[in-house]
Structure 1
Amino acid sequence: MYLYMNGELVRREEAFISPFDHGFLYGMGLFETFRTYNGHPFLLDDHLERLNNSLNELNIHVRYTREEIIHALQLLLKENKLGDAYFRLNVSAGIGEIGLQTEPYDHPNLIIFAKPLPPRNPLQEKRAVTLRLKRNTPEGFERLKSHHYLNNILAKREIGDSPNCEGIFLTKEEFLAEGVVSNLFWIKDHILFTPAMETGILNGITRQFVIKLANFIGMDIQEGFFTVDQALEADEMFVTNSIQEIVPISSFDGKEMPGVSGAKVKALQKLYEQQCTGLWSRKDV
């Protein structure tokens, strides 16, 4: 398996970074995960916009363009003999001295990983359970998709390895936040509910796209501070991320939900599938 590292293809067993890289020493790094559909990197412009904004926030002086990343993805697909793939685009700050650095990072490391995708399963659904572990607050003013992932790792340990279960974080005030690797939505009547950014969640790219789709089909959107009891009244529930897409929930804290049979979730999934082979940004919907 090949990785793309700083402009070159590198065999995975030959890929190394310095122990002085501040992505390793201090967690100064960011990543984006996305997938291709018939070779098209779905919503790549949105992922790069978030990445470049976050790089600026971390004082890492680099910006990545669509053309640069597409070139890397095409090389990875070809050399790894993949039709489509799961990609992780990772940027670490680069080498620095031991100690907290305030000046900009001018020589970051770019690594793009590719791995095969499992077959798409139209009947995929998950059960959701609230976690005992609370969602930590963002390290800065808003949550970045950064290397700081201990809260998520501990949550995953709490729920175990089952691929059919998603843990749902609550804030310390007991408001719903997000999943271990997903954003949370539920539907009541014609309203789509999702926790507000102010709960400390990551503003997922698929989250933003689904909100745009729901608006497109005339649903009302309510972002806010919601309790478990409010979500338990839902007609339908689902979680989202860029790899698993829109995943219906079959039960929430033991209460049965429609799962894959939910009519509104089905409608959103159909719209999603119609867009994923050609769309660069949710702004183009």
Structure 2
Amino acid sequence: MRFAVVQHDIVWEDRAANFARLAPQVACAAGAGAEFVLLSETFSTGFSMTPGIGEPEGGPSARFLQEQAAEHGVWVAGSCPEVAPDTGGVGGGDAALPYNSFVLAGPDGTVHRYRKLHPFTHGGEHERFRAGEKPVTVEVGDLRVTPFICYDLRFADVFWSAALDTDVYLVTANWPAARRLHWQTLLQARAIENQAYVVGCNRVGTAGDGTEHTGDSRIVSPMGELLVTAAGVETVLVADVDPAEVAATRQRLQFIADRR
């Protein structure tokens, strides 16, 4: 399956502007033969913690992903702030807070969600977003795909727990330039230790809070090889991934069985 990573800038807290910017980039990715298109974390708002930034589950950001998937006949995914329907965004405390929700929209209208397990406490995300409960693995064609979001990348244990059911990890992010080496290194580490592909999408540009982002999006093979990488500009990366390569790597080098 051919994956595309859309490395893009984000207009701060302006969903309509971001939809207008991203639609041509999704079309470009689909035109390059991509069957799965990955956008950044909080692709429609930026990594904003402004009170009220959440939208209803299935709101405008999720609908944008669904519309793009249907229009181009591909999978499209990215994260957005969503308030779960069981809370309705009312009440006090955690119940009123959104999740950082990774939405996977299929070309047939199917939608899957993963909720970020690890809010970024260093930046105060835990005060503005609820934490998810568990990893989610989705069958996309003949691939088993497990998504994570940004700060999740630092927690090897959740990647390990999903490894035997995963061919491709997706990591979408607003990772800051100040820690770009961590992003680059951890993406490769997660691929190597789990013998799976890792598809990492990070934004570029300056966020509304002044944080700088340098992209460094990449697709990593089960052996840790960089199949395609990007620097600090808007671009679309494309690479093919094959579940047979995952199976062959794990058969040839049976490391995962020795975990304790």
TM bracket, shorter-chain basis: under 0.3
Which structure is larger by alpha-carbon Rg, 1 or 2?
1
TM-score by length of 1: 0.25
State the TM-score, normalizing by the size of structure 2.
0.27
